[in-house]
Chain A
Amino acid sequence: MSDKENPSGTDQETWERIAACPEFESLLASKRRFVVPCCVFFLVYYFALLYFVGWHLDWMKKPVLGKINLAYLFALSQFLMAWGMAWLYMRKAATYDKAVAEILIRETP
C-alpha cells in the first residue's frame, strides 16, 4: 500500500470538514494549552535537579532526613513527579477521548 492512500476510505472532503469544525479546533487548542505547559514543567523540574546537583553541591549535600540528603530526596521526587504527570495526562486524555468520539459520531457515516 502506498503512503498517499487512505486505507479507511475516508475521502478528502471528510478530512477537511473535520479539520475545519470548531469542535476539532477547540480540541487542538485545549491539547496545546495542556501539553505545552506540562512539558515545560517536567523538563524544567528534571533539569533543575541536574543543575543543582551539578552547580550547587553544598546545598544538595545537606542531610535532611536522617542521613538522607537533599540531592537524594530531589531525585526521589522525580519519580513521584513522573508518575503524577502520567496520572494527570491519563485523566486529561479521557476528556479528549470523549471530545473525539463526539466529533467522529457526528462527522463520519
Chain B
Amino acid sequence: MTIAMFLAFVIATLGITVWSAKKNTGSSAYFAAGRSIKGWQNGLAVAGDYMSAASFLGISGMIAFFGYDGFMYSVGFLVAYLTVLYVVAEPLRNAGKYTMADLLAYRLKARPVRAAASLSTLTVSTFYMVAQMIGAGVLVSTLLKEYAWITPNAAIIGVGILMIVYVIFGGMHGTTWVQIVKAVLLMTATFVLSFLVMREFDYSFSKFFDAISSLTYTKGGEEVTQNFLDPGMKFGAAATAAGGGWGPLDLISLGLALVLGTAGLPHVLVRFYTVPDAKTARVSVVWAMVIIGTFYLLTTFLGFGAATLLKPHLITNENMAAPELSHFLGGDVFFAFISAVAFATILAVVAGLTISASTSFAHDFYTNVLNHGKEVAPEKEVKIARIAALFVGGISIALAIKLQTINVAFLVGLAFAVAASANLPVIVFSVFWKRFNTSGAVTGLLVGLFSSIILIVLSPSVMGIDGADVPAAKRHLIQAQAIFPLTNPGIVSIPLGFLAAFLGTLFRREPESEAKFAEFSVRAHTGLGAEKAHDH
C-alpha cells in the first residue's frame, strides 16, 4: 500500500519532468523557468521548498515531545518571511538574473565576490541536503519496513537518483512544479490530519487544550503529569541545565538564525527569479506566507495531537510522531498516504537544493570565475549546470551514506546559521549601503561562513561526551566537552558577519562600486532593466 503511493508520486513527478524537459530551451528556461511562473504558483513553490521533512515530521515530533517549545520553531519559520518580504525579494528580482551572487556582482568585482558567494551557496545547500537525505534514508526504510531490501542506503541512493533526474531533465520548471504538487499534498495531509485529531476531541477546543494542559505519560519509568502548553521543556533553564546548555539564550540564538537566515537561503532566493517581475515576487512571498503560516499553525494539532492521543513515551522517535498519529487515526491507508507525503516532501526539497547549488556552480563559478564572465553560450552554461547537478547529487549521496551513523541534526541549524551570518549581511549592505565594496563582501561572506562552521564544530551539537548506552545515531561527532556553549551559533556569528562586512568595507575604497550605486539603486527599486519573462 505504502509503496504503491510512493510509486504514484514518483510516476507523477517524472511525468512533470518529461513535460518540463520540452520547455527547457535556453538558459533562462532552464535556470529560471523562463520567468513565467505565476505569483500564486511561486508562492506554493516557495512554501514547498521551505516546508521540509524537518518541518512536517520534525516540528510535529518536537511539539509531541517538548510541547510548547517545539512550537517556537513554527513561529520563527513564519516570521522569517517578513525579512524576505520587506528586505530581500524585490531588489533581488530586479537586480539579479539566476543567483544570489548576481545581486552582489552588480556593482562589485565579479570574480572574488562570486567565488565567495558560490562557496557559501554550495556549503549551505550541501549541508542542508545531506541532513535531508540521511533523514530520508531512515524514514523511508522505517516506513517501508516490510520490504527488507529497502535499507537506509538503498533509500538514500534512490532519493538521490530521483532528485538528480528531476534537476537534470526538468530544470527549474520541473523542479518548481514538483514543489507545487508537494505543497498541495502536504497541505491536504495536514488539514485532514488536524481534522481527524479534532474529531477525537468532539471538535471542542476546550477539550483539546484541557488534554494538552494535563498530559499524563511515562517518563524514565515513572508516571508524570505535565502541562504541555507551558514553555521551558526544551529551552528552559531546568531542562538544559543537565546538558550544560544555556537555555533561553539558545532560544534567542536559534530565533536569530531562523528570522535572518531564511532571507539568505539560496534555494529560497532563486525562486524569485522564476516570476516575471518584482511585483509578482512580492505577491508570491505573501502567498507563501499564507500557506506556510497556515501549515505551521496546524502543527499545533499534529504535535499536540500526537502528544495527547499517542503519549510521548509510545512514539518511536521524534520523526515518527506524525506518521504514527496518522496510523492511529486513519489506519493503514491513511498511514500510507502520510508516508508518501513525507517522501514527496523530502524529494522536493532535495531537488530544490540541487538546482540552486548547480545553478550557482555553473553561473557563478564556471561562467564568471573560471571564464572571467566572458560570453558563454547558453547551452554550455546549462550543460555545466547539469554536470554540476550530477556531481552535487553524487557527493551528497556519498556524504549521506558515510555520515548516517552520526547525529546530523546540527546540519540544518548550520545551514540557517551560515545563510544568516554570511549571505544576509552582504545582501543588505549591497542594497542599502553606497560605500559597500568588494573587500567588504568577501570578508563578510568568508567570516560569516567560517565562524558559523567553527562555532558549530565547537558546540554541544558536535562535541559532547556520551555514555556507553547512547546509540550510534545519537552520539556526538567529537567525544569531548563542548567549548562553545550554545547549540546554535547565530547570536555570535551573525553580528560577526555584519561586522566583518562593515570593517572589510572600511579597509579599502572602491570608487567603481560607489559610482555604480546610482544605477544599481534605480534598477533595484524601479525594476528598470530587470530580466524579462520569456515566451517558450
Interface, chain A (partner B; CB < 8 A): 1-4, 6-8, 10, 12, 15-16, 18-20, 24, 27-28, 31, 35, 38-39, 42-43, 46-47, 49-51, 53-55, 57, 60-61, 63, 66-69, 71-72, 75-76, 78-79, 81-83, 85-87, 89-90, 93, 97, 100, 103-104, 108
Contacts of A103 in B (CB 8 A): 526
B212 at the interface (CB under 8 A from A): yes
- Per-position binary interface string of chain B over residues 515-536, scored 1 when its CB falls under 8 Å from any chain A CB and 0 otherwise: 0001101110111111100000
Most buried by A among B279, B368, B530: B279
Which of A7, A28, A39, A83 has a CB less than 8 Å from the CB of B531? A7
Contact check, A38 vs B230: say whether CB atoms are below 8 A apart: no
B229 at the interface (CB under 8 A from A): yes
A contact patch SS? helix
Taking the nearest CB of chain A, how far is it from the CB of B227, in angstroms? 8
Chain B positions 59-83 with a Cβ under 8 Å from a chain A Cβ:
68, 71-72, 74-76, 78-79, 81-83
Taking the nearest CB of chain B, how far is it from the CB of A41, in angstroms? 10
A83 in contact with B289 given A18-B528, A53-B72 (CB within 8 Å): yes
Alpha-carbon gap, A81 to B289, bound state (A): 12
Contact check, A38 vs B86: say whether CB atoms are below 8 A apart: yes
Taking the nearest CB of chain B, how far is it from the CB of A46, in angstroms? 5
Contact check, A54 vs B248: say whether CB atoms are below 8 A apart: yes
Alpha-carbon gap, A28 to B255, bound state (A): 30
Which of B82, B255, B282, B293 has a CB less than 8 Å from the CB of A90? B282
Contacts of B528 in A (CB 8 A): 8, 10, 18, 104, 108
Contact check, B255 vs A86: say whether CB atoms are below 8 A apart: no
Contacts of B527 in A (CB 8 A): 100
Contact check, B293 vs A3: say whether CB atoms are below 8 A apart: no
Interface, chain B (partner A; CB < 8 A): 68, 71-72, 74-76, 78-79, 81-83, 85-87, 102, 105-106, 110, 206, 209-210, 212-213, 227, 229-232, 235-236, 247-249, 251-252, 255, 259, 279, 282-283, 285-286, 289-290, 293, 296-297, 368, 373-375, 518-519, 521-523, 525-531
Contacts of A16 in B (CB 8 A): 518-519
Taking the nearest CB of chain B, how far is it from the CB of A94, in angstroms? 9
Contacts of A27 in B (CB 8 A): 525
Which of B82, B247, B296 has a CB less than 8 Å from the CB of A42? B82
Contact check, B368 vs A54: say whether CB atoms are below 8 A apart: no
For residue A1, which residue of chain B has the nearest CB?
Answer: B375
For residue B375, which residue of chain A has the nearest CB?
Answer: A1
Most buried by B among A6, A38, A81, A83: A83
Alpha-carbon gap, A85 to B78, bound state (A): 12
Alpha-carbon gap, A36 to B481, bound state (A): 42
Contact check, A31 vs B525: say whether CB atoms are below 8 A apart: yes
